[in-house]
Structure 1
Amino acid sequence: MSRLTFVDVCSGAGGLALGLEQAGFEPRLLLDEDADSCRTLRANRPQWNVLRTDLLDFDPSEYPESYDVDLLSAGLPRVKSSATVRRADSHVEERLLKAAIYLIHAIRPRAVLIENVPGLAHSDNYQPFRDFARAELAHLGYEFSWFIVNAVDFGVPQNRKQGVLVAVERQRAKEFRPPAPTVEQPTTVGETLLPSMASRGWRDAARWAAQANRPAPTLVGGSKNRGGADLGPRGAKKAWATMGVNGHTVGDEIPGVDFVWDPELGRDNMVKITSEQAALLQDFPESWKISGLKTARYRQVGHATPPAVGEALGRAVAEALGWDPADPVAG
C-alpha cells in the first residue's frame, strides 16, 4: 500500500513525526539542530532519514528527497510571550516560523502543518505573522485554517493547547476539517503513571494515583539558556502540588518501597516525575527512548507534540488529500 510522504522540520524527539507515521505518512527527511534529538530519532527509527541542521541553514536543493512530498510538517520552537519579547534572542522563533513558510516556496508540498503556541492562531500579538503567512500561501495557491487543539481531547493525560496552521492546495482545501475530539472523558495522570509508580514496589502508588485524578498541566521544556528541568511556571507547580507532585524538579528514579509520601511535610515527601514518566504524559509509547542527560531528555519531551495529536492532525490532512488507507492504490 502506498503511503503519503512528508518532510518534518524541527523534529525534536519525534512526537509529531510519530503521530504522522501512525496516520499513514512516511517521512522522507527529518531535521533538527539538536544532537540529542537527532540521536533520539535515530535510536527509535533507524530507517528514518535524519539530518542534523538548523532550519535557517537548510538548503533543500541539496536534498532531492525533500521534493515532491505530500506534507511539510513543523513543530516549531514556541514563539515568545509578551513578557519576554524584549529579550535579545526573542526573534529566533519568529525567524524559524518565517523560514518554514519560505521552505514551502522551495519544496511545494500538497499540504502544510505547523504547530506552535495557541496565541499564534488568534492573538493580536501574532497578527503580523498571520498576515505574512496568508500573503505567501495565497500567492502559492494554498488555502489555510488557523485553529486550536487541546491534547486532552485526544486521550493525552495533559491539558496542552496548541495553535495549528494547516494549509492545503486550493483544489483540495475545502475538504479539510480540523480533527474532532477522539475521547469523551479525559485521561488522568494517576491512571497513566500508576503502573510505573508501582513498578518498584511503592506501597502508596494506588493512593497517590487516586489523588492525581486529573490531566496534567502543560509540560514545558524550557530553554537551553536556563537552568535545570522543572515542571513549568508557578501556576503549573501549584497544580502539581495538589496531586502530591513536586513540580520544582524532575526525578532521577521512581519511588522505591520505603518512600514516604506525605505532601503535608513539604516537597521532599512529594513524588517527583521522571523524564520517562513525562514522556508517558506526552503520549510517547513506553518503548520510545529519549537520548541525553536528564535535563536534555526532559527538554525534548516538554517541547514535543504528543503523538496522538499528530495522528489526529495527520488523519485530517490525509482525508483532505483524498487518501484512503483502506485503498491499496491510495497515494
Structure 2
Amino acid sequence: MSKLRFVDVCAGAGGLALGLEKAGFDPALLLDRKAVACETLRLNRPAWNVLETDLLDFDPAEHQHTYDVDLLSAGLPRVKSSATVARAETEEELRLLEATVLLAHSIQPRALLIENVPGLVDSPNFEGVREFIRKELEHLGYRFRWFVLNAADFGVPQDRKQGVLVALKERYFPAFSPPVPTVSEHIPVGRALRRSMAARGWPGADAWAAQALSVAPTLVGGSDKRGGADLGPTGTKKAWARMRVNGGTLGNEVPGPDDSPSGVITITVPQAALLQSFPPDWVFAGKKTVRYRQIGHASPPPVGTALGRSIAAALSS
C-alpha cells in the first residue's frame, strides 16, 4: 500500500512532519519562510522537498505535485486574542491561519490538520475566526471537528495543551475520531532527563531526578524580535524553580562531577528537545537561542503521530 502524501506549511523544525512521517505519511512539500528552519529540515531529512518561502507568497500552481494530496497540515504561529494584544501583533498570525484554509481551495486535500492555541477551539475571542473557517470548509465539502489535546497524554514529558482542527471530505468524516491518550501516566521531568543529567558524572543526578516529579511546564520559544532564551514567563519559571531548575536561562552543558549535588541546574537545548520528544539525533541549525526557539515553537512529534494515525484510519475507511 502506498504511503499517504501531505503538504506541511509553516513546518518549522519539523515536529509535526516528523510525527506524520511516523504515522505513515510522505511529504510532497514542506514550506517555511525561515532559512534556519529550512536548514534544520534539510540537515535531518535531505530527501524531503523543502521550500523556503512565506506562505502568504506561496503559489501552488508553481508546485503542481502538491495538488490532490491526502493531507494539508499546519503547525501555525500562535494566534493571540485581539482582546489582549494590539491588532498589529496578531494580524500576521491570523493571516497565516486564513491562508492555510484558503490553500485547501487550490490543492484540495482529502484532510486538513491545523494545530494552534487551545483558545482557538472555543474561546469567544476567536468566534469570528472559527466562523470564517466554517464557511470556507463547508463550501469546499469538508466536515470538521475542533478539540484540545495535551501532549502529556501522548508520552511527552510536558504539560502542553494544543488546539486542533481536523477537517475531512464528507465521505471520510464519519470514520474519524480524535486520538485517545497513548500513556496511562504522565512522564515526569526527572525521569525524562535523568540520563542526560548524569552524562558528565554529576553526583546529584539521581537525587535531582527523584524530586523532579512533575511534567515540564509548556516550553515557549518566545518572540524572534526580542529577548533571549529562557523557559517562559514568571509562572513557568516558578514551576521550574520548584524542581531546582533555573528557568531564566539555558545552560551550555549539563552539570559535571564538580558541581554541587544539591544545586540549582539549568536545562540545555538538547534537553529542551527531549522535553518536546524530538529524537536524540534530530539536529537543530543555528546558535543556542535560535535552536531553542525552534524547539519551543514546535509541535511535539508524538502528538503529530497520534493525529496522523487517526486521520489515516479515516482516509482508509
Alignment-derived partner of residue 236 in structure 2: 236
Are the equivalent residues in 2 in contact too, given 1:197–1:205 (CA < 8 A)?
yes
Question: Residues 83 and 193 from structure 1, CA distance in 2 versus in 1: closer, same or farther, beyond 3 angstroms?
Answer: farther
Alignment-derived partner of residue 131 in structure 2: 131
> What's the Cα RMSD here?
1.1
Are the equivalent residues in 2 in contact too, given 1:253–1:274 (CA < 8 A)?
yes
TM-score by length of 2: 0.98
Aligned length: 317
Matching of residue 292 in structure 1 with residue 286 in structure 2: yes
Structure 2: segments with no counterpart, 5+ residues: none
Runs of 4 or more consecutive aligned structure 1 residues displaced over 6 Å after TM superposition:
none
Are the equivalent residues in 1 in contact too, given 2:189–2:215 (CA < 8 A)?
yes
Instruction: Give the alignment partner of residue 311 of structure 1, picking from 305, 310, 315.
Output: 305
CA–CA separation in structure 2 for the residues paired with 1:69 and 1:173: 17
CA–CA separation in structure 2 for the residues paired with 1:84 and 1:41: 34
Cα drift, residue 83 of structure 1 = 6.7
**Structure 2 counterparts to residues 71-220 of structure 1, below 5 A:** 71-81=71-81, 84-86=84-86, 88-220=88-220
Aligned AA (2:68)? D
Structure 1: segments with no counterpart, 5+ residues: 263-268, 324-331
CA–CA separation in structure 2 for the residues paired with 1:163 and 1:89: 20
- Name the SS for the 1:272 alignment partner: coil
Q: Percent identity?
A: 64
CA–CA separation in structure 1 for the residues paired with 2:122 and 2:295: 26
Alignment-derived partner of residue 266 in structure 1: none
Alignment-derived partner of residue 271 in structure 2: 277
Alignment-derived partner of residue 227 in structure 1: 227
Aligned AA (1:171)? R
CA–CA separation in structure 2 for the residues paired with 1:279 and 1:83: 32
- Name the SS for the 2:89 alignment partner: coil
Aligned AA (2:52)? R
- Name the SS for the 1:90 alignment partner: helix
Cα deviation code 1:274-328 (max 9, x no counterpart): 11100000010101011100000000000000000000000000011016xxxxx
- Name the SS for the 2:90 alignment partner: coil
TM-score by length of 1: 0.94
- Name the SS for the 1:129 alignment partner: helix
- Name the SS for the 1:114 alignment partner: strand
Cα drift, residue 82 of structure 1 = 5.2
Cα drift, residue 208 of structure 1 = 0.5
Alignment-derived partner of residue 55 in structure 1: 55
- Name the SS for the 1:143 alignment partner: strand
CA–CA separation in structure 2 for the residues paired with 1:291 and 1:51: 16
